[in-house]
Copies of this chain bind each other. A is one copy, B any other.
Amino acid sequence: MNPRQSPASPATRAEMAARFVGRDITSMRDFTTDELLFVLDLSEEFEGSDEPRLKGKILANLFFEPSTRTRLSFHSAMARLGGQVIGFADANVSSVSKGESLSDTIRMVENYCDAIVIRHKFEGAARLAAESTHLPVINAGDGANQHPTQTLLDLYTIRRIHGAFEGLRVAFLGDLRYSRTVHSLIESLARFNTELVCVSPPQLRLPGDILDDLFERGVRVREEFNPTILPQDVDILYTTRIQKERFPDPVDYEKVKNAYQLDRKALSIYPSRVTVMHPLPRVNEISPDLDDYEGAAYFQQAKNGVTVRKTLLSLVLGVV
């Protein structure tokens, strides 16, 4: 479905919006494909129009683990729409240091705000938070588990550039084993008629259960373990950082650490522009000489992050 060719009717729109009021956004798995496309459509509609829809609303930005990017992006989204933000950037200044349970912290904070964004190092923390309050809770990353707004901004970026998901060939490079960003995006892209190429060192290949699931669903997916050549015939290169701490033997890390570096020269094999994405922060996975390459989309991703977060906050707070 190309949403621009078949826009939702006004009735459907109100109905879809109603489904999001007060809702928790803890995992991409909670989204039907219709809902996912609705969020993207609405984000396109809202992009660049900043009415003070959220005036009088308060967001609690609870970052039990630091993350400037995501925290400031939510703060900006709220501020752009006239809302206010309370919270903390660091668990050390929070009452968790006094031994308070997460559930108690959430039940305290729910008295101070209208919606909660939570970042926490433990998997499942966002769902636990959601169960502790009647307010909408948005997961801004819980350990290696989920980070749904990252996936939505990735999807939004892809559709903004390529118009639709159908028929796209997307290569994922680097650490495909531990990257929650990759797992979640793959799961979402697999809902559409896309072709996936997984390029990684053998130690960091996509987990078996995710691969099995893709095969079962008939998704076109292939793996490549040769780091010296980039896959041919792809529309998008989505690259991630390989973290040293994933390797028990440092020698193994040294062998692969620079294997998936992208630069102008590496991309010269492609006859036409390829889209380059990265969740950021990057260290050396993408050379600065690509920053003005017309396919470079990684800073656009950051911009789109504010857009989709504005949409989600408006939806769960019921002001669409």
Q: Is A255 an interface residue (CB 8 A)?
A: no
Q: Is A88 an interface residue (CB 8 A)?
A: yes
Residues of B within 8 A of A76 (CB): 58, 86, 111-113
Q: Is A280 an interface residue (CB 8 A)?
A: yes
Residue of B whose beta carbon sits closest to that of A86: B75
Q: Is A47 an interface residue (CB 8 A)?
A: no
Residues of B within 8 A of A288 (CB): 103
Contact (Cβ within 8 A) A104 B282: yes
Q: Is A302 an interface residue (CB 8 A)?
A: yes
Each complex incorporates copies of this chain amounting to 3
With A111-B299, A282-B100, A302-B111 already in contact, the answer to whether A90 and B87 are too (CB < 8 A) is no
A42 → chain B closest CB, angstroms? 19
Contact (Cβ within 8 A) B72 A107: no
Which of B66, B80, B90, B100 contacts A58, CB < 8 Å?
A: B80
Contact (Cβ within 8 A) B92 A72: no
A97 → chain B closest CB, angstroms? 7
A206 → chain B closest CB, angstroms? 23
Which of B89, B92, B99, B109 contacts A66, CB < 8 Å?
A: B92
Distance, CA A128 to CA B98, complexed state (A): 27
Residue of B whose beta carbon sits closest to that of A299: B107
Which of B52, B63, B66, B92 contacts A97, CB < 8 Å?
A: B66
Q: Which of A67-120 contact B (CB under 8 A)?
A: 67-69, 72-73, 75-76, 79-80, 84, 86-90, 92-95, 97-100, 103-105, 107-109, 111-113
Q: Is A1 an interface residue (CB 8 A)?
A: no
Closest 9 CB pairs of A and B: A100-B281, A76-B112, A111-B303, A79-B84, A89-B93, A66-B93, A75-B86, A68-B94, A68-B95
